[in-house]
Amino acid sequence: MAASIAEQRARACRTLLTQVHATTAKEGITPSALHAIKLKLVALAAKTDLFPPGDFAMPLAQGRTHPLLVEDDDGHGLYLTINLPGKEAAPHDHGIWCVNAAISGRERHVFYRRTDDGTRPGSATVAKVGEVMVEPGNGMAMADHDIHSTEVVGQAPAIGLALYGYALTRFPSVAWFHPEFSAMRASPSRRQLAT
């Protein structure tokens, strides 16, 4: 009997994470490793038959995350994300690497570097260093402590795959940057919230 779409998707996700572990075991979390992982995630996202919209509920508000494969302990987390037009995230450092690839729609990622010395609590300045449009056939990769903002562009939902070094429930504290006020605020680690 032919495997269901859900079974095929689960198998494809397991295969991806096996490949990811093989890559990182060989060379660690390096820029080239993250690039290789991004290419694999883009290839998986291109298999749109594995991610039919009917299998994933739309957001109740404007942004929703569906777990696809979440490893135990401090393993990786692979998710399908749905963000509706207008959904955004201010510049932030979530402390752990991540790779994104689009299934459909467009999401702009802007990258920043911190320009202050980090000695004043609650204060920070950042400068834009680059920008990537995550759309079908394209993705983005960022290392631990890279800073990015996101914004859904256009009138269609941005649906994509997101692979994080840690599962979302094991995320460290997230630092949010607010250039208008030269401010930095942290949201607590989900690890602390879980204990």
Partner 1 sequence: MARTAKTYQVNITNLGQVITCAANETILHAAIVAGIDYPYACASGNCGSCISQLEAGRVTMLPRGDAAISPAQVKARQTLACRARPQGDVAITWLGRGRR
Q: Can you give the binding site for partner 1, defined by CB under 8 A?
A: 59-65, 84-90, 92, 174, 176, 178, 181, 183, 185-187
CA end-to-end distance (rounded Å), the chain:
44
Quote the least distance from Cβ 124 to partner 1, whole Å. Answer: 13
Q: In the chain, what's the furthest Cα-to-Cα distance?
A: 62
Alpha-carbon gap, residue 26 to 76, rounded angstroms: 17
Pick 63 or 165: Cβ nearer partner 1? 63
Distance (Å) of CA 70 to CA 7, 172, 173, 193: 16, 16, 19, 18
How far apart are CB 150 and partner 1 at their closest, in Å?
9
Nearer to partner 1, 4 or 192 (CB): 192
4 residue type, one letter: S
CB of 178 to partner 1, least distance (A): 6
Smaller CB distance to partner 1: residue 17 or 98? 98
Q: How many residues are given for the chain?
A: 195
Q: What is the dihedral of CA 88, 47, 140, 87, to 10 degrees?
A: 0
Q: Pick between residue 37 and residue 91 the one whose CB is nearest to partner 1.
A: 91
Q: Catalogue the long-range contacts made by 10-13 (C-beta closer than 8 Å, 24 or more residues apart).
A: 10/68, 10/69, 12/44, 12/47, 12/50, 13/44, 13/68, 13/69, 13/78
Residue 14 or 66: the one with the smaller Cβ distance to partner 1 is 66
- Provide, rounded to whole angstroms, the least separation between the CB of residue 180 and partner 1: 8
Write down the least CB distance from residue 63 to partner 1, Å: 4
| 60 versus 194: smaller Cβ distance to partner 1 | 60
User: Is the distance from CB of 76 to CB of 164 less than 8 angstroms?
Assistant: yes
Least gap, CB of 28 to partner 1 (angstroms): 29
